[in-house]
Amino acid sequence: MATCVPAVSGALHYGVTNCKGHSYRRSASFSDVPNTGFLQKDLSWSKVVSKVLQIHRCGFSAPPLHKDQKLFKVISSWKKDSPTKYFDFIVIGSGIAGLRYALEVAKYGSVAVITKAESHECNTNYAQGGVSAVLCPSDSVESHIKDTIVAGAYLCDEESVRVVCTEGPERVRELIAMGASFDHGEDGNLHLMREGGHSHHRIVHAADMTGKEIERALLKEVISNPRIFVFEHHFAIDLLTCQDRSDMICLGVDTLNSKTLEVIRFLSKVTLLASGGAGHIYPKTTNPLVATGDGIAMAHRAQAVISNMEFVQFHPTALADEGLPIKPTKPRENAFLITEAVRGDGGILYNFGMERFMPLYDERAELAPRDVVARSIDDQLKKRHEKYVLLDISHKPKEEILSHFPNIASTCLQYGLDITRRPIPVVPAAHYMCGGVQAGLQGETNVKGLYVAGEVACTGLHGANRLASNSLLEALVFARRAVQPSVDHMKGSSLDLTASNLWPRPVVPLPLGSNVTDKIMSTTKELRAELQSIMWDYVGIVRSTMRLETAEQKIGSLEAKWEESLFQHGWKPTMVGPEICEMRNLFCCAKLVVSSALSRHESRGLHYTVDFPYLEESKRLPTIIFPSSPVNSTWSSRQLHKQPMYQ
């Protein structure tokens, strides 16, 4: 498992493995970093990255990148093509971050957008609320900065917050110029909503389907761009990395076409990870099925630094199916989100006794940040032994409700609930990872050629708790900021066409036969549900050291049981399949969350532990997981193949 420590003054150690498998120790000195608090420019995320692992440019001397001219615009599941493809830029993920980045870098070269399912199936598409940006004269960037830092429990990186809040309005205007259609008021100006934690109305939205509208506009631009090629149903397995002395270099990614079961290798000078979060480490999540932490796990296996994984945001208000007049006929793949904007628009939370309870917990009541509201609901449910609470917006005019929340109203009505007349049953659900792959101010990581943007990244913006509607904003800003360094890296390096031979190819387990494969898949499905239950029961909204240690032990035993079952049935460490790859990633991310949570001995933002119930000023620092030697690691925490030495 990784070495997980809070960032402190002094020497921090992490393991590094070279191409021959020899492990050795290196120290990253933080002696010049003050430990008096995180909101200081001396401890900016970009400086943490450079101090932890110094990045050196690797001088390739090879022919220029070959551009494959035989590709179609969208590579569908039935299309056969070369098993190795070469591009100037690779983008893993087709959400707002990946698409926005692709449109910019396409001005400088060829781009492959690799997406796990259909192009639109991503967290962006499920984002109901909107994009927060200062677009009203009565609002200010300073106010947005303050709201973000307060919501983030003062763990935010101030430089990152200032960058996002300052550049955000221009990024929103760019979306509008591309054709994204947002709601306007009767005065013709943008209709701005207010959500929990915000001091002003600054949420740009398209009714309660903002993410879907942004995704539509971006996909339209991407599909019409002749330099961007979209590969649907391509599951990213592992990043292709090699070592040059102490530097780790990313040269692309291996993927599995989940329809044809072909392994396709993508080689590139630059890779952007924009693969979203890991909501499905929990059984109840608002995330789509594709959100299994693939990017975070791949980056961890590729020796990238990971930060703040203990801060898992539980959205306070997901639809509680148990409280619907007509129950769904089958369990949902993901919880249906009831947007923050319902509370921002005047929605009130009640318990079963129709007692308004939020003022008992926080003076901001329903407009308190998400971590406060989620814990308050959790407390009510446990004290009253109830399964959900009620969110009531029915006191507002019917026309206004239907205008602002048409998707929510329509979905609830399918199950016999008219939200203009009755309250909505809601319960917290896993929603957003505030931690992820540690990124600098330009989306750079400690792995050369690898950039990150969106939920997979930890930029320091969110701190210990994300402010509502700051996620889409962050994705836009950092996708744009990653462009110039990516282009510079692409122009300053070349890629040897023989690089494809550096790594053996993963293999599909066809020789095992359908009976054995079916047994493996059945066991994996069963243990996946068990892993999710462990995370919900022991690593949920309220934690304790004993429960976290129990989770660590149970997850370790479960993973060992899974691996033993796999390999006893003839599965090889180099074999791949969609369900198996997802399980690897879920185990990896679950362990990262537990390890990070155990290392934070305070309660801050989304991490609340009964053993350390108070904020500790001395612990106002990010939690950093350094790369570790894969020698004794489990299968989920190491790459399928050892990193070769690039010469």
Q: Once rounded to an integer, what is the mean pLDDT over residues 58-83?
A: 39
Instruction: Report the run of H or E that residue 29 belongs to, with start and end.
Output: strand 23-29
3-state secondary structure of 635: helix
Mean pLDDT of 111-136: 76
pLDDT at 590: 97
pLDDT tier at 330 (50, 70, 90 boundaries)? Answer: confident
* Amino acid, res. 435: G
Residue 55 in tokens: 């990045």
| Assigned CATH for 514-613 | 1.20.58.100
Question: Cα(545)–Cα(538) distance, rounded to whole angstroms?
Answer: 10
Q: What are the tens digits of pLDDT across the range 409-454?
A: 999 999 999 999 999 999 999 999 999 999 999 999 999 999 999 9
Residue 91, classed as helix, strand or coil, is: strand
pLDDT top residue among 645 and 141: 141
**How large is the angle between the packed helices 210-223 and 470-481, nearest 10 degrees?**
20
Residues 206, 227: Cα–Cα separation, whole Å: 29
At residue 78, the pLDDT reads 33
Paired tokens of 567: 């390999």
Residue 640 contacts residue 633 (beta carbons within 8 Å): no
Distance CA 274, CA 296 (A): 10
Residues 6+ apart with CB under 8 A from 247: 55, 56, 58, 448
Cβ–Cβ < 8 Å for 168, 158: no
- pLDDT for res 432: 95
Nearest to 48 by CA among 443, 465, 452, 446: 446
Helix/strand number for the chain, H first, E second: 17, 22
Report CA 150 to chain centroid distance, whole Å: 22
Token duo for residue 429: 């659900």
pLDDT > 80? residue 248: yes
* DSSP H/E element including 249: strand 247-257
Q: Which pLDDT score is estimated for 121?
A: 56
What is the sign of the dihedral through the CA atoms of 287, 288, 293 and 295? negative
Decide: helix, strand or coil at residue 585.
Answer: helix
DSSP 510-521: GGG-HHHHHHHH
Reported as a pLDDT band with limits 50, 70 and 90, residue 29 is: very low
Please write the tens of the pLDDT for every residue from 370-407: 889 999 999 999 999 999 999 999 999 999 999 999 99
Query: Which residues pair with residue 203 across a beta bridge?
Result: 132, 193
What pLDDT is attached to residue 43? Answer: 44
Tokens 């990213």 sit at which residue? 236
Please give the pLDDT value at position 185.
86
**What local confidence, expressed as pLDDT, does residue 55 receive?**
35
Quote the percentage of the chain above a pLDDT of 70. 84
Q: Which residues are catalytic?
A: 370
Single pTM value for the model: 0.86
Mean pLDDT, range 353-360, rounded to an integer: 97
Average the pLDDT over 167-182 and give the result.
Answer: 94
Q: What are 249-308's pLDDT values in tens digits?
A: 999 999 999 999 999 999 999 999 999 999 999 999 999 899 999 999 999 999 999 999
How many CB atoms within 10 Å of residue 514?
Answer: 8
Residues 78-86 have a mean pLDDT of: 69
Neighbouring C-beta atoms of residue 601, cutoff 10 Å: 13
Separation between Cα atoms, residue 82 and residue 482, nearest integer Å: 29
Q: Which amino acid is at 330?
A: K
Cα–Cα nearest to 444, from 637, 266, 644, 305: 305
Residue pointed to by tokens 């997850």: 555
Please check whether the two domains, 84-311+434-500 and 317-430, share a CATH topology: no
pLDDT confidence of residue 120: 56
Q: Which one-letter amino acid corresponds to residue 262?
A: E
Q: Is the pLDDT of residue 147 over 60?
A: yes
Relative to beta strand 228-231, strand 111-114 is parallel
Listed residue (325, 346, 323, 344) closest to 393, CA to CA: 346
Residue 647's pLDDT band (cuts 50, 70, 90): low
pLDDT of residue 22: 31
Cα dihedral 441→447→450→455 (10° resolution): -60
What is the predicted pLDDT for the residue at 188?
87
pLDDT at 124: 55
Query: Position of tokens 């070469």?
Result: 86
Q: Name the amino acid, one letter, at 115.
A: T
User: Among candidates 418, 198, 210, 436, which has minimal Cα distance to 304?
Assistant: 436
Strands 389-392 and 424-433: antiparallel
Range 579-598 average pLDDT = 97
Most distant pair of Cα atoms in the chain: their distance: 72
Sheet containing 3-6: order of strands: 3-6, 623-626, 306-307, 436-438, 457-458
For residue 319, give both structure tokens. Answer: 């639809």
With beta carbons less than 8 A apart as the criterion, state whether 303 and 627 touch. Answer: yes
What pLDDT does residue 170 have? 97
Q: Quick one: 84-311+434-500 is in which CATH superfamily?
A: FAD/NAD(P)-binding domain (3.50.50.60)
Q: What is the pLDDT of residues 607-619, one digit of tens each?
A: 999 999 999 999 9
C-alpha separations of 338 from 381, 419, 464 in Å: 18, 11, 22
User: Alpha helix locations (H) across 241-313?
Assistant: 294-301
3-state SS class at 109: coil
Whole-number pLDDT of residue 62: 29
What is 416-464 written as a DSSP string? T--TTTSPEEEEEEEEEES-EEE--TTSB-SSBTEEE-STTEE-SSSTT
Query: What band does 211 get if pLDDT is binned at 50, 70 and 90?
Result: confident
| Cα–Cα nearest to 148, from 128, 136, 131, 164 | 164
CA distance 94 to 223: 12
- Residue % of the chain over a pLDDT of 90: 70
What are the residue ranges spanned by the domains of the chain?
84-311+434-500, 317-430, 514-613
Q: What is the pLDDT of residues 533-567, one digit of tens each?
A: 999 999 999 999 999 999 999 999 999 999 999 99
Interatomic CA distance for residues 560 and 590, integer angstroms = 14
pLDDT tens for residues 267-277? 999 999 999 99
Whole-number mean pLDDT of the chain?
85
Whether the per-residue pLDDT at 503 is higher than 50: the answer is: yes
Task: State the pLDDT at residue 71.
Answer: 31
Q: What is the Cα–Cα distance from 159 to 43, expressed in whole angstroms? A: 10
The answer to whether 468 touches 354, Cβ cutoff 8 Å, is no
Give Rg (Cα) of the chain: 23
Confidence grade of residue 26 (pLDDT, cut at 50, 70, 90):
very low
Distance, in Å, from the CA atom of 199 to the CA atom of 143, rounded to the nearest integer, reads: 7
pLDDT at residue 574 tops 60 = yes
Q: Pick the residue with more confidence: 346 or 32?
A: 346
Architecture of 317-430 per CATH?
Answer: Alpha-Beta Complex (3.90)
Angle formed at CA 156 by CA 542 and CA 368, multiple of 5 degrees: 50
